């Protein structure tokens, strides 16, 4: 089964380290996203697995077969790795019709004319582009080109499919549509998808595993909801979720029971779910997901003032000032709030993450209450 394994993969461009000592396992039939800001090494990683880029160091195994090893000097060329690649700009050949574009790979595999015709028509139908078969790419819209590119990649039936920000050139509505399309294809083709994106929403909604990267380092490799619930550090906490998590700085006032000092006025009591090792006076960062801050008309855990209210119908995003610290909260339902009003904030049902300020590492989870 096509299980992909990366061991100590490093890629340097001159002195610049694009990917640093990356280890990961991509399971068969999973949908893995490589997520991170631009320049974090995610595209390079993808290209290295596909064989388009040569790693400086490390071992890559696909389906228990070593396709790259810097030590043993193994470097299997991309076309022998049995992988498909979907490029960000589609890379459709402008001088070939849609039909020719899709048939190209099959012709190279010396399929018979009839077999090619059957296969291409099947793909055209699958991606709902049958009527464009005779057109040239420049005569298609972005979304249609995208579908042709997908059909071309799927034609030879690769067991692993790599996608490099395939939706970033589409408008918002099409992107939405293509997302569900990709999820459907993943199920139908029964193959492994590795997907690069900088859009956390795409990563959250599509994938079975998210690999978050920053400056060439892997930050966290976990299922999307776990990344959301229990981010490994402040970077992943901040990168995932919209509106962003509130990262509030403070210090440990007292170790047991744990009391956090946020400002001179605001002190909160943290009830860990597991053992947490902190020292008195340690600088910390408290992560508060916006939906876990309840805004109440009465006195509650802490007091705050409403700075702005952005109702969108389904939910309202509120900016708050808690003793001059800015917080965001999301309240569900079509409610609007009066700017300048003083309200109470409750942390009642949320589970919050506590980070070490110096290293950014997650120290542990717990609930909050007033002291």
Partner 1 sequence: MSAKSKLNQMKAFIKKPHNIILVVLLVVLGYLTLVPLLTIILDTVTVHSSEARFVKKPVGSLTLYHWTKMFASGVTSQKTFYEPFVNTMVVAFLSCVLAILIGGFFAWTVTRTNIRAKAFISTVFVFPYIMPAWTLAMAWLNFFRNSRIGGAPGLFTVFTGMETPNWFAYGLFPIVIVQGLHYAPFAYILIGGILRNMDANLEEAAMLLHANRIQIMMKVTLPIVRPALLSTFLLVFSSTMSAFAVPAFLGSPVRYQVLTTQMYRTLNGMNPGYGYIMALVMIVIGVGILMLNQWITGRRKSYTTITGKSSNISLFNLRKARTPLTILLVTILMMVAILPLASFAIESFIMAPGDYSFSNFTTEFWIGKGRADIANSEPGILRNPSIWLGLTNSLKLSIIISLIAGTVGMLSGYAIAKRRGSRLSTWVNNLTFFPYLMPSMAFGAIFLSMFAVRRGFIPALYGSFWLLVIVGAVKYLPFASRSGINAMLQLSGEIEEAGTIMGVGWLKRMTRIIFPIQKTTFISGYLLPFISCMRELSLFILLVSPSTRILTTLLFQYNEKGWNQYANAINLMIVVIVVGFNLLINKLTGASIDKGIGNN
In whole angstroms, how close is the CB of 201 to partner 1 at the nearest point?
23
Beta-strand relationship, 362-370 and 267-272: antiparallel
In whole angstroms, how close is the CB of 166 to partner 1 at the nearest point?
12
Q: Which residues bind partner 1 (CB under 8 A)?
A: 47, 50, 52-53, 77-79, 83-85, 87-89, 91, 93-95, 104-105, 108-109, 136-139, 152, 155-156
DSSP letter string, 265-297: S-EEEEEESS-----TT-EEEEEE-GGG-EEES
Nearer to partner 1, 160 or 288 (CB): 160
- CB atoms closer than 10 angstroms to residue 118: 12
d(CA 88, CA 158): 18
Nearer to partner 1, 94 or 313 (CB): 94
Give me the half-sphere count of Cα atoms (radius 13 Å) on the Cβ side of residue 289.
Answer: 22
Nearer to partner 1, 79 or 297 (CB): 79
**Residue 243 preceded by cis peptide, ω within 30:** yes
- CB atoms closer than 10 angstroms to residue 32: 23
In whole angstroms, how close is the CB of 51 to partner 1 at the nearest point?
8
- CB atoms closer than 10 angstroms to residue 51: 20
Nearer to partner 1, 30 or 88 (CB): 88
d(CA 66, CA 81): 10
Nearer to partner 1, 96 or 351 (CB): 96
Closest to 60 in 3D by CA, of 3, 1, 5, 11: 5
Nearer to partner 1, 156 or 269 (CB): 156
In whole angstroms, how close is the CB of 232 to partner 1 at the nearest point?
30
Nearer to partner 1, 41 or 84 (CB): 84
User: Are the CB atoms for 160 and 83 separated by under 8 Å?
Assistant: yes
In whole angstroms, how close is the CB of 143 to partner 1 at the nearest point?
16
Sign of CA dihedral 177, 50, 39, 246: positive
DSSP lists the bridge partners of residue 277 as: none
In whole angstroms, how close is the CB of 296 to partner 1 at the nearest point?
48
Nearer to partner 1, 80 or 342 (CB): 80
In whole angstroms, how close is the CB of 40 to partner 1 at the nearest point?
16
Residue 303 has φ and ψ, to the nearest 5°, of -105, 150
In whole angstroms, how close is the CB of 87 to partner 1 at the nearest point?
4
Nearer to partner 1, 104 or 230 (CB): 104
In whole angstroms, how close is the CB of 27 to partner 1 at the nearest point?
22
Q: How many residues does the chain have?
A: 371
Residue 356 has φ and ψ, to the nearest 5°, of -80, 130
**Residue 159 preceded by cis peptide, ω within 30:** no
């Amino acid at each position: 089964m096509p299980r992909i394994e990366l061991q100590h993969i490093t890629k340097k461009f001159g002195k610049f380290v694009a990917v640093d000592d990356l280890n990961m396992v991509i399971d068969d039939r999973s949908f893995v996203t490589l997520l991170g800001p631009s320049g974090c090494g995610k595209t390079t990683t993808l290209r290295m697995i596909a064989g388009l880029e040569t790693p400086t160091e490390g071992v890559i195994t696909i389906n228990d077969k070593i396709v790259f090893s810097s030590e043993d000097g193994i470097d299997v060329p991309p076309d022998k790795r049995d992988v498909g690649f979907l490029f960000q700009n589609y890379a459709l050949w402008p001088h070939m019709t849609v039909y020719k574009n899709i048939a190209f790979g099959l012709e190279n595999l010396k399929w018979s004319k009839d077999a090619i015709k059957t296969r291409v028509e099947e793909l055209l139908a699958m991606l709902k582009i049958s009527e464009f078969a005779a057109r040239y790419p420049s005569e298609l819209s972005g979304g249609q080109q995208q579908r042709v590119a997908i059909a071309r990649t799927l034609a030879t039936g690769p067991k692993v499919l790599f996608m490099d920000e395939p939706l970033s050139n589409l408008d918002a509505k099409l992107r939405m549509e293509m997302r569900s399309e990709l999820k459907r294809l993943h199920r139908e083709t029964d193959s492994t998808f590795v997907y690069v994106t900088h859009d956390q929403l795409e990563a959250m909604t599509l994938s079975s595993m998210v690999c978050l990267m920053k400056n060439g380092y892997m930050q966290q490799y976990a299922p999307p909801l776990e990344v959301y619930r229990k981010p490994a550090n402040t970077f992943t906490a901040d990168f995932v979720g919209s509106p962003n998590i509130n990262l509030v700085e403070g210090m440990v006032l007292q170790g047991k029971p744990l009391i956090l000092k946020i400002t001179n006025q605001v002190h909160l009591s943290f009830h860990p779910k597991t053992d947490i090792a902190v020292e008195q006076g340690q600088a910390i960062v408290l992560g508060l997901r916006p939906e876990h801050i309840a805004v109440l008309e009465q006195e509650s855990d802490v007091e705050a003032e409403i700075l702005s209210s952005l109702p969108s119908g389904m939910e309202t995003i509120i900016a708050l000032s808690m003793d001059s610290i800015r917080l965001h909260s999301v309240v569900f339902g079509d409610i609007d709030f009066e700017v300048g009003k003083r309200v109470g904030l409750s942390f009642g049902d949320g589970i919050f993450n506590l980070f070490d300020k110096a290293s950014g590492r997650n120290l542990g989870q717990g609930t909050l209450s007033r002291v």
